Amino acid sequence: MPVRNRPPVTSNAPEPLMHIRDWPADERPREKLLARGAAALSDAELIAIFLGSGLRGRDAVSTARELLAAHGPLRVLLDCPPAQLAKLPGLGPARACALAAALELGQRHLRAQLERGAALTDPHAAGLYFAQRLRGLPHEVFAAMFLDTRHRTIAFEELFRGTIDGAEVHPREIARRALAHNAAAVIVGHNHPSGNPEPSAADRAVTARLKQALALVDLRLLDHFVIGDGPPVSMAARGWV
């Protein structure tokens, strides 16, 4: 009797989940953070630390990746109000509150570095502060940070609001506000709602006009930051201030 070819026996059972604790130590998010610092972690790994565990059948990192793929990128995800975050798969009220609290702590820590009394020795900190204040706004906003003779922060003001693709800037008004604060130097910044942080020709022209206007009243323009997705773009670093 001939032997019939039979299809191989297959199983629909899912493969066993490999927990993060079973990963090599240098690949686990917490161990990587402790050994190399938070900057060494990907967006998904940072979120995974807040999640602690993933959805059924998935680890925390996989769940974080799915969150970013469906509701990201990171800026869009974290700009969601806490009540909206709480409804996303894998988060819930407790984790959403933890994320919102962590963001606010970061903002307060940065503001504390820029409070009057400590000189601004790291221009990068000013760029991050502008990013936290302006990134995610649906319209363009032009803001200024006023500093004293020792480059200590006196005040931060949002001066001009525009549309999705532009804002009219008046250098004389910025000079007037600087004199009102008895400032010696100014840092300005504005956001690009499109997300593209590349300075436009108009941005460069405004910077040149503003530098000239401030110099007439013995004020220095230290930098102009353009805020979009990714790191703030410093026009001083490009030699345009």
Q: How do residues 217-232 score in pLDDT, each as one tens digit?
A: 999 999 999 999 888 9
Q: Residue 174 corresponds to which tokens in the numbers above?
A: 């910025």
The per-residue DSSP string of 103-139 comes to HHHHHHHHHHHTSTTSB---HHHHHHHHHHHHTT-SS
Residue 6 has pLDDT above 90, yes or no: no
SS3 215: helix
Q: In this predicted structure, what is the pLDDT of residue 164? A: 63
Sheet with 220-227: list strands edge to edge: 153-161, 141-147, 185-191, 220-227, 233-234
Residue 216, CA atoms < 13 Å, CB-side half-sphere? 10
Query: Would you say 160 and 170 are in contact if contact means Cβ atoms under 8 Å apart?
Result: yes
Q: In this predicted structure, what is the pLDDT of residue 90? A: 86
pLDDT in tens, 115-146: 666 667 777 888 988 998 898 788 999 999 99
pLDDT in tens, 170-217: 999 999 999 999 999 999 999 999 889 999 999 999 999 999 999 999
Q: In this predicted structure, what is the pLDDT of residue 140? A: 93
Band of residue 17 on the pLDDT scale cut at 50, 70, 90: low
Q: Residue 21 corresponds to which tokens in the numbers above?
A: 């604790």
**Dihedrals φ, ψ of 220, to 5°?**
-105, 135
Band of residue 147 on the pLDDT scale cut at 50, 70, 90: very high
For residue 163, give every residue at least 6 positions away whose Cβ sits within 8 Å of its Cβ, in sequence order, or none: 139, 140
Lowest model confidence (mean pLDDT) among 1-5, 49-53, 55-59, 210-214? 1-5
Query: Would you say 229 and 73 are in contact if contact means Cβ atoms under 8 Å apart?
Result: yes
Tell me the residue type at 176: R
* Mean predicted lDDT score pLDDT of the chain: 85
